[in-house]
Chain A
Amino acid sequence: MEAIIYKTEEERLEALRKMVGMRKIFEARAREIYEKKYGISLAQ
């Protein structure tokens, strides 16, 4: 387990953007799994 070192401010800001934006990825994956499994499209 090692700390991530960012060389530039832009790299760090991009990492923060990615971190806070991950929820949309979780949600899309979860919907896809559910819809594949049950063949039911969930309301958005």
Chain B
Amino acid sequence: MIKLSENAINQRAPYKVEQTGDTSFMFETKYGVVYSVGFMQDVSFYNEGVYQFYLINLSSKTIGVDKNISETVRVVIEEFFTHKEVVMLYICDTADMRQEYRDRLFKIWFNTYEKCDLYSLYTEGMTIDNVRYLSSVLLRKDHPLHNQVLNKFHDFIVQHNQE
């Protein structure tokens, strides 16, 4: 189990984060919107090293575009990837069935990230119980099990996909 550093994040993030667990944080924007961001261990296809990423608006309100949110989240993700042997699993929220839109936003964010060349991003679609999900893994290219992780993720999703 890894532990992320609140201090390291707060040295660079525009919004001050507060640690709520080894790999979880909360922050409040200047508009009073509260977010929870972090990673939870996921043992769906590997017994360790895979963490499901989440970003949740706890206030259930949004106030326009706020670049400081994505900037803060970027710093949190960078802190996560100071650990070499981790895998980030991201499943787009299916609330209001806008998962495709969220997936596009995530890819735009990733492709404009200045260090994206250091990472591999791989996405699979799947349908479970008549709901379509988009699921991605993000990992460092120098992850020691890079190809095995991608292959295993692909197998896990595709072999058991109901699509």
Contact = CB atoms under 8 A, between A and B. Distances in A.
Interface of B: 20-21, 24, 26, 34, 36, 38, 40, 42-49, 52, 54, 56, 58-61, 85, 89, 91, 93-94, 126, 128-129, 131, 133, 135, 145, 148, 152, 156-157, 159-160
A38 B26 CA distance: 12
Chain A residues touching B, majority SS: helix
Interface residues of A, number: 26
Contact of A27 (B43, B46, B48, B56): B56
A34 B133 contact: no
A4 B34 CA distance: 36
A32 to B, nearest CB: 10
Given A4-B45, A43-B59, 12 more contacts: A1-B48, A1-B85, A3-B46, A15-B45, A20-B91, A22-B91, A26-B38, A27-B54, A27-B58, A30-B24, A33-B36, A42-B59
A7 interface: no
Contacts, number: 92
Interface of A: 1-4, 9, 12-13, 15-20, 22-23, 25-27, 30-31, 33-34, 37, 42-44
A4 B94 CA distance: 26
A33 B26 contact: yes
B60 A2 contact: no
A5 to B, nearest CB: 10
